[in-house]
Amino acid sequence: MRHRLATWLVEGPESATDRALANPAALGHGADLIGFGGGQPAVETYPLDALERAYAQAIRDSGARTLPYGPTQGLPALRELIAERLAGRGIHAAPDNIVILTGSVQGLHIVGRITLDRGDTIVTEAPTFMGALAAWEQQQPRYLSIPVDEHGMRVELLQEALTRPDQPHPGFVYLLPTFQNPSGVSLSRERRVELLDVAREHNLLIIEDDPYGEFWFEGEREPIPPLRSLPGSEDHVVYVGTFSKILAPGIRLAYAVVDPQLVAPILRSKRGIDFHTDTLLQQAVVHLARDVGFDLDAHVRKGRQLYRARRDAMLDALETTFNSDTRWTRPDGGFFMWLELPKGMSGDAVASAALDQGVAVFPGSLFFANGDGGANGLRLSYSNTTPERIREGVERLKRGVAAASA
């Protein structure tokens, strides 16, 4: 039989995520491949023993309570735990305003389902996280892309765009204010305040996607507070957080903090997707975080040290390997840096030549919602590679650049 597929699949633009995943090597699989491609946390940080204890406890002690169909919003004990952890970062949210998700991309998808009509406009950063674009494909949105500089999204350009008479009112603004994927930069404190002013003036909904915010590299205190922690953000900002980077991505557990008005539509939409997130997993994560033999905060602090050492190794290796015609960002946290090759060089060609040399990187062209940027860019991820392998990977990248220029 010939299956009839929906118009958005047949006629919509090519999926950037599909392009990225088309070559499994790009995610770091393969014998001697060095993976600067995907945004994987370091495998050695997975808390395997603590997870084993937590799952056993969830089955043994709470199985009868946990395993029937559960609440769509998520287990109250997990929502309380998340509310406590967020309060430590200045985000004050009642457990009733938190929705548990099966991965943060599900949250992005659901906000799209409840706010967008076909052809509506979404504001994104340029560059942006390509995985998010997959969440909204069905609505065939238009994108208003706002460039990012070393202080994050250029909010003044958003303000300017919104005052143009022909600019449709956006369904929402999607951004990664902290240690952005793919550039590694953060939105400055001043611009966060300006963005909230613009949101108030233009009645905008903002999605703050924050998978990397807890991995800052300097000092005890978080350097720039999350957008959702700032005064006046409550009605404008949907905050999306995840356990993927602090525990492990395979467990698929994330959450959104939302305005009370949005809870019912979000739950209605989620019921039509998976009814609720895996309750055994939710219960296990509650046990894990309350386990006296495992300190989640210390675990995150160790992650900060590990990723800082890897960022430093990559910066050192880039400095000794490339000359001044190649530039890169210096992230203060997170997993990524953005490398700009000399003008006229193709990031796609270099990514492909680098793969032949045994190092996977993502070409910058994947990260632009309108497919109109990043031609000479590369995203490099240092999170899941040891410092020694990072040095080797940068050497291989240099050989890839030479091969692509030949």
Ligand X SMILES: Cc1ncc(COP(=O)(O)O)c(C=O)c1O
Which residues of this chain interact with ligand X, rule CB under 6 A?
39, 103-105, 129, 131, 176, 181, 209, 211, 242, 244, 249, 254
Q: How far apart are CA 47 and CA 286, in angstroms?
A: 14
Q: What is the nearest approach in angstroms of ligand X to the Cβ of residue 324?
A: 30
Q: How far apart are CA 398 and CA 351, in angstroms?
A: 11
Q: What is the nearest approach in angstroms of ligand X to the Cβ of residue 304?
A: 17
Q: How far apart are CA 338 and CA 380, in angstroms?
A: 6
**Closer residue to ligand X in complex, CB, 174/322:** 174
Q: What is the nearest approach in angstroms of ligand X to the Cβ of residue 249?
A: 5
**Closer residue to ligand X in complex, CB, 177/347:** 177
Q: What is the nearest approach in angstroms of ligand X to the Cβ of residue 101?
A: 8
What kind and span of H or E run contains 173?
A: strand 172-175
**Closer residue to ligand X in complex, CB, 229/383:** 383
**Closer residue to ligand X in complex, CB, 62/282:** 282
Q: What is the nearest approach in angstroms of ligand X to the Cβ of residue 14?
A: 20
Q: What is the nearest approach in angstroms of ligand X to the Cβ of residue 67?
A: 23
**Closer residue to ligand X in complex, CB, 131/393:** 131
| In contact, 147 and 126? CB cutoff 8 Å | yes
CB neighbour class for 17 (10 Å; exposed up to 12, middle 13-18, buried from 19)? middle
Residue type, 366: L
| In contact, 173 and 207? CB cutoff 8 Å | yes
**Per-residue tokens: 312:** 């430093």
Crossing angle of helices 104-115 and 260-271, rounded to 10°: 100
**Closer residue to ligand X in complex, CB, 239/322:** 239
**Closer residue to ligand X in complex, CB, 328/362:** 362
**Per-residue tokens: 304:** 């900060």
**Per-residue tokens: 403:** 């091969």
Q: Which residues contact 341 (CB under 8 A, 6 or more apart)?
A: 326, 347, 350, 376, 377, 378, 401
Q: What is the nearest approach in angstroms of ligand X to the Cβ of residue 312?
A: 21
**Closer residue to ligand X in complex, CB, 129/215:** 129
| In contact, 238 and 111? CB cutoff 8 Å | yes
Q: What is the nearest approach in angstroms of ligand X to the Cβ of residue 104?
A: 3
CB neighbour class for 222 (10 Å; exposed up to 12, middle 13-18, buried from 19)? middle
Backbone angle region of 51, left / alpha / beta, with phi > 0 → left and psi within -120 to 50 → alpha? alpha
**Closer residue to ligand X in complex, CB, 39/70:** 39
